[in-house]
Amino acid sequence: MYPPVDVLLQRLKGVAKGLFLMRDYDPIVLRKKIPAPHHTDPNNQAYLPDIKMQIDAELCIRSLSAEYNCDTLVLGEETGEYPESLAGETRSVAVVDAVDGTDLMVRGLSNYCLSFAFFDPAQQKIHLSVVAHSSGILYYATDAGAFQENAAGVTRKLQVNTNGVRLKDSSICFYGQKPRFLMGVLRRRHFIGRIREFERRMESGEKLDVRLYNLAGNPMMAKIPDGAVDLVFEVSGQEVHDIIPGAFIAVKAGARLVGLDGQPIDLAKSLLSPRKKLTYILASSQALIDEMLPLLK
């Protein structure tokens, strides 16, 4: 028996309060490094062993699983198992990252989150996704749709605005904090050519609202439904735990997710290979995807 989604969500809201308190910490004292997990990029830095224990979503899930007498496989960024495949897995699966974006957090840059997804491999179904953003806003998605809850506890259902946003007026996000990821974007000559075109048009006096943000992943994906972001793309490849929670929320609100070949990505099926890297475009509309796809060849 799986924990009811509403119970799981309420427990995670409690865990998220620990993340929101991190805004009061001096980031300098948070830069205590620990060995990076063996399954991650060796260029990653791991931080915050004590802080992550304070917001231990993994412990919350294990406790809840024991309470409901169900066996749950925890895929944790720092601890837990991390198999190559979940094919044939009979347990429920919790994908957990207590602080997604520690690189930013320890530098005092507020674009990190707690990310979580609860998944049934046998049914290939995601039951719940949660992104608790450092801004204090909680985003989540279930079968009923995608939702946002503010610091005052006011909840509203999210629906992507798919009307008429063109690339020239959109907020575009990509991951480029490390040289390899940035160069992966800069090598897309068609995309860079379009950005140069926008530069010339703006310098000539044309008003364009295009914005480029070198930040991506779950914290930015979750903001597509509320209109803060229009498009997130990745050309070098990210593991699914860095994609699923935010992308699932955006998709449940009406966003579109495709690979760089233009084919739709099934998030649940992608989770069956949790260490496989994905390249993708996640956007508020198919029209934006159609504009972007040729630029990323």
* Domain end position, chosen among 158, 178, 204: 158
**pLDDT score recorded for residue 218:** 95
* Beta strand pairing call for 92-100 and 72-76: parallel
Residue 78, pLDDT score: 58
Q: Are both 54 and 194 inside the same structural domain?
A: no
* Same domain (yes/no): 147, 251: no
Regarding whether 215 and 146 lie in a shared domain, the answer is no
The range of the structural domain enclosing residue 262 comes to: 167-296
Taking the C-alpha atoms of residue 140 and residue 217, their distance in angstroms, rounded to an integer, is 15
How far apart (Å, rounded) are the C-alpha atoms in residues 183 and 178? 9
Q: Which amino acid is at 93?
A: V
Residues 133 and 211 reside in one and the same domain: no
* Statement to judge: residues 25 and 149 lie in one domain: yes
Q: What are the beta bridge partners of residue 275?
A: none
- Supply the CATH number for residue 202's domain: 3.40.190.80
Residue finishing a domain among 158, 178, 206: 158
Taking the model in full, what pTM does it have?
A: 0.91
Which residues are CB-neighbours of 12 under 8 A, at least 6 positions away? 57, 60, 114, 116, 130, 132
- Cα 292 to the chain's mean position, in Å? 20
Residue 235 shares a structural domain with residue 113: no
Q: Which of 125, 158, 191 delimits the end of a domain?
A: 158
Q: Are residues 135 and 181 in the same domain?
A: no
217 and 78 in a common domain: no
Q: Is the domain of 107 the same as that of 239?
A: no
Mean pLDDT by 10 residues, the chain (297 residues): 87 83 65 55 57 68 87 74 85 87 79 91 95 93 96 94 87 93 95 97 96 94 94 93 94 97 96 92 96 95
Number of domains in the chain: 2
CATH code where residue 32 lies: 3.30.540.10
Do 290 and 257 share a structural domain? yes
Both 14 and 143 in one domain: the answer is yes
Together in a domain, 127 and 24: yes
